[in-house]
Amino acid sequence: MAAMDGRDGLKDLMDNYQRRDFLKMATGAVLSLPLSGCRSFRQRFGSDRPRPNIVFIMTDDHDRDALSCYGSRVNATPNLDRLAKEGMRFEHCLCTNSICAPSRAVVLTGKYSHINGKIDNGRDGFDGSQQTFPKLLQTAGYQTAMIGKWHLRSEPTGFDYWNILPGQGKYHDPDMIEMGQRKKHSGYVTDLITDFSINWLKNRNSEKPFCLMYQHKAPHRNWQPDDKHADMYKHTDIPIPDTFDDDYSTRSDAARQQAMTIEEHLRVPADTKVKPPEGLTGKELKKWKYQRYMEDYLACVASVDDNVGRFLDYLDESGLSENTIVFYTSDQGFYLGTHGWFDKRFMYEESLHMPLLVRYPGRVRAGSVNDDLVSNLDFASTFLELAGAKTPDDIQGESLIPLLRGKTPKTWRTSFYYHYYEYPGPHSVKRHYGVRTERYKLIHFYYDSDAWELYDLKKDPDELNNLYDNHEYAEVIADLKMELKRLRKHYGDSDALTKKILNESLTQRKKALEKKQRLQTK
């Protein structure tokens, strides 16, 4: 039902656009467009509908709290805000598994981690032989490119062109791997990825519609700003979040036993010239570290903002803006001092939410806001529908097209399923799964413990009061458990599958460790 609404939605979007184009042509307004633009306009009046170009901009670890269009208290992002002002801002875009590589695999496949196989950032790469949306777009006649941070440990598949950072990549003078060839580049990574993306647009085959994945490393650790922005926040007292000193008193052990506090676990980079003042300890040291962390993080974001602005300007100058749908997101959210943390992983609000801005001039209402539960699971279906390609039945996401029209189908999801796996692992966040509805969130930490948490997000948006043992919520808990069971079945997840996946993953890790030890003893 939702898919049918979606297809009708695209037809309406296109029909509206055709009427606008006709008016423009009648007034001669399209004469300034380049030849490729004119050709697509002509096609629009034939039997084939023209299909939009797709630009997917993804940053790494960019939290909504560092975007002014989401109400940031710590910085301004005027260029990224343009996308919100000229398009739609999604309030609840949720990540199915809040960690880098798995999120990217979900984007590519439109399938949960337990189906696409990339459950954590561990040794094994993404299985690139499986179905992905770029491959399906190629089949549908799109030219595809992947430029910037890939982070899936495998060679990109489904792209006519790719130029990626190896692994995490470096901020300054990074190596990049272009179609299998590794080269060193001079400059700052955010500038370079933008340059390569614009150059690809200039040199692409303009006969075909395109999909460009333009993906930044920033603002991932180790947060090394460029010279232009390095001192931008040095003399600013960055506001401390309200939950900075959360003591996790009502939560389960998982929140107390993690290793991602600013106070204890955030390392001031070894190569920094700034050292904590002599004798600074405890709460004062925590505040000092927070300021240094945020200065660098926000300076990296500022460069992203400048560069996305430069990229959007190029779309304008080249006449591409009109028929190009631009998505901006990050692979997950990130803790910017809330709850005393940095990093991600937990199903709590900050890391669960991804920013999502979508601009599609004339077809998505400028300055609109969507409150539905959407996800990185939905991107693949959306891109396929935009390309007029059939979405295979095994894709688990839904197309966002009806929502982009401002018409949410009655059948749209009212609950969302989450599952995180990487434990034991960096930052020691225990494995958990859970369900989030508009109002509630139920989390089950099932490994190394058997603990549940319930939050009433309406009364407690900061999730400071775990209500799982509150008898007044017994009925809510029973309903949510039923819903969780239904979602797990619907998406093909189960305890047996989790056990199988984790056994495989532990075997792989053991083998990798043994290999490493063998190499060290040689």
Enumerate binding residues for Ca ion (CB under 5 A). 60-61, 100, 331
- Host H or E run for residue 53: strand 53-59
Q: Please report how close the Cβ of residue 152 comes to Ca ion at its closest, in angstroms.
A: 12
Tokens of 78: 């005027």
Query: What are the start-end ranges of the E strands in 377-478?
Result: 415-420, 432-437, 440-445, 451-456
Residue 301: Cβ within 10 Å count: 30
> Rounded CA gap, 178 and 484, in Å?
43
Q: Please report how close the Cβ of residue 259 comes to Ca ion at its closest, in angstroms.
A: 17
Could you give the C-alpha distances from 458 to 331, 432, 437, 438, in angstroms and in order?
Answer: 26, 22, 11, 9
> Rounded CA gap, 308 and 198, in Å?
11
Determine the straight-line distance between the first and last CA of the chain, rounded to whole angstroms. 61
Q: For the range 409-415, what are the long-range contacts, defined as Cβ-Cβ under 8 Å and sequence gap of 24 or more?
A: 409/1, 409/2, 409/5, 409/6, 410/1, 411/1, 411/2, 411/5, 412/2, 412/372, 412/373, 413/372, 413/373, 414/373, 414/438, 415/373, 415/483, 415/487
Measured from the CB atom, the residue of 61 and 493 that comes closer to Ca ion is 61
Q: Please report how close the Cβ of residue 103 comes to Ca ion at its closest, in angstroms.
A: 7
> Rounded CA gap, 50 and 27, in Å?
21
Measured from the CB atom, the residue of 331 and 372 that comes closer to Ca ion is 331
Q: Please report how close the Cβ of residue 439 comes to Ca ion at its closest, in angstroms.
A: 28
Token look-up 């002002």 returns: 85
> Rounded CA gap, 177 and 148, in Å?
9
CB neighbour list of residue 510: distance below 8 Å, 6 or more residues apart: none
Measured from the CB atom, the residue of 168 and 449 that comes closer to Ca ion is 168
Residue number, nearest CB to Ca ion: 100
Measured from the CB atom, the residue of 98 and 261 that comes closer to Ca ion is 98
Q: Please report how close the Cβ of residue 321 comes to Ca ion at its closest, in angstroms.
A: 28
Could you give the C-alpha distances from 472 to 456, 481, 485, in angstroms and in order?
Answer: 12, 16, 22
CB neighbour list of residue 168: distance below 8 Å, 6 or more residues apart: 149, 151, 217, 220
Asked if 442 and 432 touch (Cβ cutoff 8 Å), the reply is no
Measured from the CB atom, the residue of 61 and 160 that comes closer to Ca ion is 61
Q: Please report how close the Cβ of residue 334 comes to Ca ion at its closest, in angstroms.
A: 7
Q: Please report how close the Cβ of residue 175 comes to Ca ion at its closest, in angstroms.
A: 20
| Eight-state DSSP code of residue 128 | T
Which residue type is seen at 258?
A: Q
Asked if 431 and 447 touch (Cβ cutoff 8 Å), the reply is yes
Measured from the CB atom, the residue of 86 and 331 that comes closer to Ca ion is 331
| Eight-state DSSP code of residue 366 | T
Measured from the CB atom, the residue of 97 and 391 that comes closer to Ca ion is 97
Q: Please report how close the Cβ of residue 344 comes to Ca ion at its closest, in angstroms.
A: 7
Q: Please report how close the Cβ of residue 220 comes to Ca ion at its closest, in angstroms.
A: 6
Measured from the CB atom, the residue of 329 and 396 that comes closer to Ca ion is 329
Measured from the CB atom, the residue of 59 and 77 that comes closer to Ca ion is 59
Measured from the CB atom, the residue of 151 and 359 that comes closer to Ca ion is 151
Q: Please report how close the Cβ of residue 151 comes to Ca ion at its closest, in angstroms.
A: 8
Q: Please report how close the Cβ of residue 100 comes to Ca ion at its closest, in angstroms.
A: 4
Tokens of 498: 């989790």
* Structural Rg of the chain based on CA atoms: 23
Measured from the CB atom, the residue of 100 and 298 that comes closer to Ca ion is 100
Q: Which of 387, 424, 429, 390 is closest to 97 using CA atoms? A: 429
Q: For 64-81, b where at least 16 C-beta lie within 10 A, e where not — what string?
A: bbbbbbbebebbbbebbb
Q: Please report how close the Cβ of residue 319 comes to Ca ion at its closest, in angstroms.
A: 33
> Rounded CA gap, 320 and 36, in Å?
9
Measured from the CB atom, the residue of 61 and 322 that comes closer to Ca ion is 61
Q: Please report how close the Cβ of residue 224 comes to Ca ion at its closest, in angstroms.
A: 16
Measured from the CB atom, the residue of 13 and 100 that comes closer to Ca ion is 100
Tokens of 147: 């430029």
